[in-house]
Structure 1
């Protein structure tokens, strides 16, 4: 199991260096945790784990930057579990019956999916911790179940900032017992407008807590927040966004038109090397429409985006993990928080709004030591974003062609398709094939005339979800 964070260098004090040949025994965590780690299948600690875990166990505040897929979730889960075990063995920290309740560990995450992923990590690694109580509170879920979970002593609370602040304001969430605050993907939370919520929550916590911050960057606003929330922090930089992502092959296909892009997508998904794929769109509406159309031509597919009820989103993710889905069509809500090792392909059908989101998207593949393929489908109007992505990653994305679907228009002047690189052979049917109208082509689909982007909301076509 691996968990992720975006990658960018800290623009501050010199970072710690990675130790050589660390072992789990050297991290300093209890046997109960070591047993769970071994059972989870890690051979050796990752770089961020080897650096951050011993530092966190000293009680110091941390500011940590690590690349996607680096195992950073475990890097704060293990020290958090150790703190819980230590508190249980400390008579001074034992809670009196009927006394103040509330979590010892508070983890703030930007999205529901990431909060649920962190919750699963605590369950996996905390399997040997007797009576461990974990709860997560997120938006889009009825309050009743969350209020019930907050009653009584609680070891770990994972929350999105907005929902937690609502519960604090109503007196339902008690924060007076927090000993460790973790901010996961702090930069993302600030991008989503949570800075005031985070500041308000932090002010309600005990001043003597330990604070661990994980972020893509500690420059600008996130650096100011880190300065306000941490005391004499140790800064750990494992990798930057300029990493080559050697386990992920990146390709770029130029499309002449939307019709051509449809045909490229169908051909790519028809390849037998695709085990499971995530196809990213720019909008919720496009995600629904594209999932519906892919389902119409026989793919086991579902959409995932922030406009869906949380229960349905949970079922979609569960089906993806259980391999009942081959294709997930998602907006950037899924670019963080999905850890499914069998995802072999990421296809950027719609480009991200920000260059750094590209790094998160492609990080959905090539996980847990596997290789992956990230493909971007771009029209000429997208050239500006392609260049921004390449400048951000300091890498050129190799331009490629699909045999039989080569673009007729020349590529932008500073990028030429690779004549020696192609992807498969023409499929028997195509989004652009005249005999199969309805997906970018003339005529009607089986659902009647439809304009792309206006398709009806979709559910998985094969997998048993409601439409």
Structure 2
């Protein structure tokens, strides 16, 4: 029996078919199936690791090994060979990783309801002593226009998020200040700068007054969509999208008449030149927002465009810069780009961990892992769950295994194109399925919606083998749905305990071992 498929290189695919075949075939099940099922995936995976230069395996090849009287000896031999060659679980796969821009777009899809966050504590790193910060507790305190307040309420906002409480009064005051903010999706940063834009514009004049630059067309369109919702009762306000196939209104000279323009670097730079079909007068722009700055500076071309655009703006133009990370390169660029800013950063010890119960479970091998996964599902009611794997091979195997066991699961991987990713994300956000499996290359920087269970099938690590605390934070994300606290369970093999200790040290927390009593309490 040969069920090979041309081009299929994933050994876990065959492992799933081996189990299905051996479960249904009397000749196979008459052998020591209970013993065989404990090692067949390990055998396949080790064979794949040892002979990974071959084009692909066939089920016939795998079954020929199992027919051998010495198949256990063969397994042990291959295991020794693999270990001698330093075979280890890859943290990288050959799939095409998501770019940070694509990840950011998925974040906005995941967080399309613009969750309000009131539990984050922001450090104020720099501020103007001549203009002290004033916090607000309600949007009404900001003296926003009534149609804008109505739009905010229609979107489900009733109280400012933490960053909005701290920042908005300074952003929309009579003497508005520049700002740098390190802020993940879901903390209210998109609403922050859109509220500031809608408060700063003059609706009785028709030219570009506020400009937002985003790294991709998809991100720009998403921001513009949120802005339109917020301004739905401000009938005099109009938005333009400076992207491929733009949506824009112009006067007889080609100058944009929309008050707010959201676009990508290349298109905005073209409009600033003043020689093309669409034009923007830089001297009239009163606010410039650079969103996802950490993505921008990765591309030298984007970085140069940002600097050129900024140089054309008036000295009095207010500048806001947002970044999802706060690495040294981002800080250096931000301080050069934004003069005399208010500067916000989420405190490390106040990152969104406190609403999530974190546990670990220690195992000898993947078989114990999978049994524990079944125990967890049987231990408490699972609403929606995300399982993070280190490689596509493991994710594919886990997908097949869970589907065989009756669980409806889907994979989010770098193999999917943008439309396929959007479909998976939208279906998951709409609760069309309960379990999402994703890989390490997809999880870095990927903020997730509210779920009540997150499982790290593999702990995230850096290229040097240490614990990747930033990816870990992004993974465990938010508290759970259905009125329950979020739960994060870290699956760890014995030799990986040092990763757990590194995380505990970094976040200044203690992660307990998950016990049967814990399962009973959930």
TM-score interval for Structure 1 and Structure 2 normalised by the shorter chain: 0.5 to 0.7
Q: Are 1:324 and 2:432 matched, yes or no?
A: yes
1:32 Cα deviation after fit: 2.2
Q: Is the 2:448–2:477 contact (alpha carbons within 8 Å) kept by the matching residues of 1?
A: no
Give the corresponding residue for 2:490. Answer: 376
| Unaligned 5+ runs, structure 1 | 96-101, 138-145, 404-419, 426-467
- Other-structure match for 2:299: 194
User: Deviation of residue 224 (structure 1)?
Assistant: 0.6
Q: 2:126·2:343 contact (CA, 8 Å) conserved in 1?
A: yes
Could you give the per-residue CA deviations for residues 334-382 of structure 1, whole angstroms, max 9, x where no partner exists? 56565634x2222222323431121122124448997311222122343
User: 1:61 is matched with which residue?
Assistant: 178
> What residue is the counterpart of 2:245 in the other structure?
147
The aligned counterpart of 1:121 is: 226
The residue that corresponds to 1:133 in the other structure is 239
What secondary structure, in the 3-state scheme, does the structure 1 residue paired with 2:357 have? strand
Deviations 1:28-47 (A, max 9, x none): 43222211222233342122
Which residue of 1 is the match for residue 449 of structure 2? 340
Q: From 339, 360, 364, give the equivalent of 2:474.
A: 360
> For 1:245-292, what per-residue CA distance to the aligned partner results, in whole angstroms no more than 9, with x for missing partners?
322111112222122222222333445522111222234454444334
- Structure 2 residues not aligned, in runs of 5+: 1-112, 251-255, 463-467
The 2-side partners of 1:252 and 1:217 are apart by 27
Cα separation, partners in 2 of 1:400 and 1:105, compared to 1, 3 Å? same
- Counterpart of 1:50 in structure 2 is 165
Highest Rg: 1 or 2? Answer: 2
**Counterpart Cα distance in 2 of 1:168 and 1:303:** 42
Q: Residue 307 of structure 1 aligns with which residue?
A: 415
Q: 1:76 to 1:241 in 2, by over 3 A?
A: farther
More helix by share: 2
Contact residue 453 and residue 487 of structure 2 kept, 8 A: yes
- TM-score normalised to the size of structure 2? 0.61
Whether 1:210 aligns to 2:318 is yes
The answer as to 2:393 corresponding to 1:280 is no
Offset of 1:226 from its aligned partner? 0.6
Greater shift in the superposed pair: 234-243 or 28-37: 234-243
Q: Which residue of 2 aligns with 1:78?
A: 195
Please report how far the alpha carbon of residue 310 of structure 1 lies from its aligned counterpart in structure 2 after TM superposition.
Answer: 0.8
Q: What residue is the counterpart of 1:13 in the other structure?
A: 126
Match 2:154 to one of 31, 39, 45: 39
> Aligned partners of 2:479, 2:242: CA distance in 1, in Å?
26
Kindly indicate whether the alpha-carbon contact (under 8 Å) linking 2:224 and 2:239 is maintained by their aligned counterparts in 1: no
CA distance, structure 2, for counterparts of residue 166 and residue 423 of structure 1 = 61
C-alpha distance in 2, partners of 1:312/1:36? 32
Paired with 1:292 and 1:111, the residues of 2 have a C-alpha distance of 35
Q: Deviations over 1:169-223 (max 9, x none)?
A: 9x89977656544344544665xx3365234333234333432223366562111
| 1-structure distance, mates of 2:501, 2:279 | 48
- Mapping of residues 406-425 of structure 1, within 5 Å: 421-422=518-519
Q: Within the alignment, does 1:396 sit opposite 2:493 as a pair?
A: no
Task: Report the number of matched residues.
Answer: 385
**Structure 1 range deviating more: 285-294 or 306-315:** 285-294
Alpha-carbon RMSD across the aligned residues, in angstroms, is: 4.2
CA distance in 2, matches of 1:27, 1:164: 31
Alignment correspondent of 1:2 = 114
Change (3 A) 1:339 1:254: closer
CA contact (8 A) 2:124 2:344 kept: no
Deviates more, 1:304-313 or 1:368-377: 368-377
